[in-house]
Amino acid sequence: MTTLILTVAGADRPGLVAAVADVVDAHGGNWENSSLAELAGTFAGVIEVSVADDRAAELQTALRTLQGQGLLTLAVVTGTPDVDLDDEQLLTIQVLGNDRHGIVREISTVLSAHALSIEELATETRDAAMAGGRLFEASVTAKVPASVDLDALRADLERIATEIQVDITLA
């Protein structure tokens, strides 16, 4: 089987997911995993599809017709097989604080410096109910190699939390 990773974006309207799903199904593909959202009037997402090796090119060509029809901007790349690393664990990091520039950059820089790989990142800004202003909230799931010094990682995240004035919780 071939794994295809689709990135899609387009003006949000009914039927976009159905259009992609129809093409995937019609060409023998299986919709495996996805993360889809409407952001500022734009539908955007990442979709993992598996398909028989001999039908992968056909499916890619068919998916590109959606772009040609003006429905979506679409990119297709071939995924890589999962590497089974038994010595890695997952770490969940929650971030909450007043919204400001650079929060994602600061946190991702610390994670990168400690060789963590971000598995999933979800962020949101919203109005602060009582204090006014905007709140920033993030949830990060990261792969932690066994070689990582968790105390040093925690210390660096606590230092960043103080500098950028956010709360960071590790689980």
What is the predicted pLDDT for the residue at 83? 57
Whether the model clears a pTM of 0.85, i.e. scores above it, the answer is no
pLDDT tens track for 59-105? 999 998 888 888 889 899 888 766 555 567 999 999 999 999 999 99
SS (H, E, C) the chain: CEEEEEEEEEECCCCHHHHHHHHHHHCCCEEEEEEEEEECCEEEEEEEEEECHHHHHHHHHHHHHHHHCCCCEEEEEECCCCCCCCCCEEEEEEEEEECCCCHHHHHHHHHHHCCCEEEEEEEEEEECCCCCCEEEEEEEEEEECCCCCHHHHHHHHHHHHHHHCEEEEEC
What is the predicted pLDDT for the residue at 45? 94
What is the predicted pLDDT for the residue at 79? 84
Give residue 44's pLDDT band: very low, low, confident or very high (50, 70, 90): very high
pLDDT higher than 60, residue 29 = yes
pLDDT higher than 70, residue 118 = yes
Q: What is the maximal distance between C-alpha atoms in the chain?
A: 58
In this prediction, residues 38-66 reach a mean pLDDT of 93
In this prediction, residues 1-5 reach a mean pLDDT of 94
Would you call 82 exposed, middle or buried from its count of C-beta atoms within 10 A (0-12, 13-18, 19+)? exposed
In this prediction, residues 4-22 reach a mean pLDDT of 93
Q: What proportion of the chain, given as a percentage, has pLDDT over 90?
A: 78
What is the predicted pLDDT for the residue at 120? 93
Please give the Cα distance from 91 to 93 (Å, whole number): 6
What is the predicted pLDDT for the residue at 86? 58
